[in-house]
Chain A
Amino acid sequence: MELTKEEEAMLDGKHGETLALAYRILAAIGEATGADKLIPVEWAHLSGVNYNTIGDAGETFLSHLSKDAKFKIKTTVNPMGFDFDNVSKFGLDEEFITKQQSIKHSYQKMGASPSFSCIPYEIFELPKKGTQVSFAESNAAIYANSISDLKTNKESALSALASALTGKSPHSDLREEENRKPDLTIRMRAESVDEVTYGLLGYFAGKQAGSSVAISGIKELDRRSCKSLCAGMGTSGSCGMFTLDEGEGEKIDFDQKEVTKMRDELNTSESGDIITLGSPQLGLGEISDLVARLKGRSFKKHCMIFCPRAIQGQIHNLGYDKELNRAGGELLYDCCTCLTPLIDKKDVDAVITNSVKGAYYLRTSNGVDVNLKNLNRIVEEETQ
């Protein structure tokens, strides 16, 4: 990868340790992806915010970095481990809370917007079509490339951090127009079409595809199903975008047999002790739809509903918080199902969710069983 004189100087440490570190990351991923140069990006969305995932090493690193580092471009951040407004209810230990506070502080000190959301594409105004961004959260990177007409690679927590510090990213993979053309088509042939099926389709596609995949046979994709598809795809592989058409090259069917196979991999229980909604977090439209479906019904089990803080005011003004509380739902902001410390296998055997991504991480990280079913069935079977 060719660097300009100025970039070389930064890599060599002539402009301080922080920029040298950031350029070292950019140089490595530039080599790894065969980039020719660095290009400007306008927005970085960072993962690596939850103390549960980055641990003491990450907390110490960020605390040290934030002593003099400042983000150069618009920077937003992923959910953290819990909602500070509700933390006392969960019996988390003091150390977790202190370390999470430190991580939150470090990101904000460097200039991050305190979004703590995995759906930046739904809560922020989007830049103009074709803009280069740097998104580490996989569902957000896929959504940005496929739906929002933005360009990003499926960044890592640290490559997006390097973009935030420098305003740059290597010019490679999905940042180049010719690499965005899919070389594989998945034909949607499943009988039932709900958000869980779309999540499983994404999970299946992620396992099969390279950087970009075409999906044919979809007439309409609502926001909930689309988010589910993006999140499923981001969980299982390295694919960073999809198009809704029939592309050139190899074609594979996603039929009922494959739906069952994917579901069997993730659904390990016929029931559960609690319900979680969110991963990705729910936007205002989904909250409004949930309220309409409940119509006087109440959850039979504790139901955790994960949302971005950005919509808390609207949820309150529209009276949705009151209605969801009445129904036994608990609104939690700034955090999400994935890698949450709020669900512990000491207290919970199995979790009911409609999230394919959530199901994967609940099993592998929280070590609990999962009853995966769509929102219709959750409302039908788990409320009265």
Chain B
Amino acid sequence: MNIKIIVRGKAKGTVLYTRHPVNFLGGIDKKTGQVRDRNHDLFGKSIRDKILVFPNGVGSSVGAYTIYSLKYNKSAPLAMVCLKADITTASGCAISNIPLVVAEKKEYESLKDCQEITVDAIEGKIL
């Protein structure tokens, strides 16, 4: 299993899976965790208390504060799994203590929506 640890931690929860990049600043409601970007396939769903599986973050540099706001408002994901960790997502997760790992493509694509998984970002495993 090829998992790269970006922010250490461990979390167990339900996968919320998307193939689309996430724009945290414009795309997510920082109070509730709801996806409010109408063009996103997760539109209307909430990332709160989920294991968010997404390719990478895009958009404004201020998105890092959106991730921190989600944590502050108790609406953050339990952990994040991505294909390519961008600076905005990595820095946002780092100050919010949200475990973040990068998975290889094969590993990433084997994850399914609604699946129960444990992200172990200490040992570097997804179970």
Encode B63-79 as 1/0 by CB contact (under 8 A) with A.
Answer: 11100110111000000
- What is the number of contacts between chain A and chain B, taking CB atoms within 8 Å? 111
A142 to chain B, nearest CB (A): 12
Closest to B70 in A: A57
Contact present for B61 and A32 (CB under 8 Å): no
Residue of A27, A56, A61, A237 touching B94 (CB-CB under 8 A): A27
Closest partner residue, chain A, to B69 (CB atom): A57
Q: Which of A84-92, A150-158, A179-187 touches B?
A: A150-158
Q: How many residues of A contact B (CB 8 A)?
A: 38
Contacts of A156 in B (CB 8 A): 61-64, 87-88, 91-92
In the complex, are the beta carbons of A47 and B5 less than 8 A apart?
no
Instruction: State A122–B93 Cα separation when bound (angstroms).
Output: 33
User: Is there an interface contact between A28 and B61, defined as CB atoms closer than 8 Å?
Assistant: no
- B81 interface residue (CB < 8 Å to A): no
A75 smallest CB distance to B (angstroms)? 15
Q: Is B73 within 8 A of A47, CB to CB?
A: no
Which B residues are CB-close (under 8 A) to A28? 6-7, 90-91, 93-94, 100
The answer to whether the Cβ of B25 comes within 8 Å of any Cβ in the partner chain is: yes
Contact A238 B58 (CB under 8 A): yes
Indicate whether B114 reaches chain A with its CB closer than 8 angstroms.
Answer: no
> B6–A138 contact, CB under 8 A?
no
| Assembly CA distance A54 to B90 (angstroms) | 17
Provide a sorted-by-A list of 14 A–B residue pairs whose CB atoms are within 8 angstroms: A29-B94, A33-B85, A47-B61, A48-B62, A50-B62, A53-B62, A55-B30, A61-B95, A138-B60, A156-B62, A156-B64, A156-B88, A157-B65, A365-B26
Q: Which residues of chain B are within 8 angstroms of A31 by Cβ–Cβ distance?
A: 4-6, 85, 90
Structural contact, B73 and A155, CB atoms closer than 8 A: no
Assuming A28-B100, A156-B92, is B73 touching A57 (CB within 8 A)? yes
Q: Is the CB of A33 within 8 A of B26?
A: no
A-B interface, 6 closest residue pairs, ranked by CB to CB distance from nearest: A57-B72, A32-B85, A28-B94, A57-B69, A32-B90, A158-B91
